[in-house]
Amino acid sequence: MKLKNTFLVLATAVAAILTAPSLFSAEGAKPPCCRELPTRAPFTDRSIYQLESKWTSDLGREVPLGILRGRVQVVAMIFTTCESTCPVIVDDMKHLQQALPEKLRDKVDFLLISFDSERDTPEVLHAFREKMRLPTEHWTLLRGGTDDVREIAALLGVNFQKDTRGQFMHSNIITVLNGEGEVVHQQMGIRAEALPTIQAIERAGLAQTK
């Protein structure tokens, strides 16, 4: 009898998986690039989501930045072949994620935008995601055209310049965007004191749930 029950439970679970529309059937489990837009209301004057540029995620999906609306985004600009600080920036962001209170973990996403329009193809970005162990559920990796990269960098206050070896000299800045895509906080430098950033994420995250 017990065995039969176990079998029934298993069969039900398998059926549920087989009949689910996709592996990411729950909206919360979808990668940030691929969720439904929470609202079509116009963006605010201070929202970087007003940009009309299109970006390609490491999952190959072409999206406007506005697709990220509705959740707090912790953003940095990096490039995957960086021999200097980019891996540290990503590591700092992972620590921020780990330091978030449980109730906010599902309300905050992490976004990496590449400086390197030439070499950081979706495939290269995807390999970087795997190497850095960045979960699909909360991390978005985007590449875009050079003009679009320059534009978003200017809005985020990030300076960068390519050298003759193809390495980018760049600012190290982690930006917190609220659910509307407005800059609410910036953490300057690597291995910086994380507490003010975590507090800013919490404020933006809690405002989002109201």
CB 118 within 8 A of CB 104: no
DSSP assignment letter at 112: E
For the CB of residue 78, give the shortest distance to Cu ion in the complex, in Å. 6
- Cβ nearer to Cu ion, comparing 109 with 116: 116
For the CB of residue 92, give the shortest distance to Cu ion in the complex, in Å. 12
The interface with Cu ion within residues 44-83 (CB under 5 A) comprises: 82
- Cβ nearer to Cu ion, comparing 49 with 128: 128
Name the residue type at position 151: E
- Cβ nearer to Cu ion, comparing 49 with 168: 168
- Nearest-CB residue to Cu ion? 82
Separation CA 59–CA 109 (nearest Å): 16
Per CB under 5 A, does 108 bind Cu ion? no
For the CB of residue 65, give the shortest distance to Cu ion in the complex, in Å. 21
Tally of CA atoms within 13 A in the half-sphere of 54 that contains its CB: 5
- Cβ nearer to Cu ion, comparing 72 with 86: 86
Bin 175: left if φ > 0, else alpha if -120 < ψ < 50, else beta: beta
For the CB of residue 187, give the shortest distance to Cu ion in the complex, in Å. 16
Separation CA 186–CA 33 (nearest Å): 23
Per CB under 5 A, does 86 bind Cu ion? yes
- Cβ nearer to Cu ion, comparing 85 with 208: 85
Name the residue type at position 98: Q
Main-chain dihedrals φ then ψ at residue 145, nearest 5 degrees: -70, 160
Q: Which residues bind Cu ion (CB under 5 A)?
A: 82, 84-86
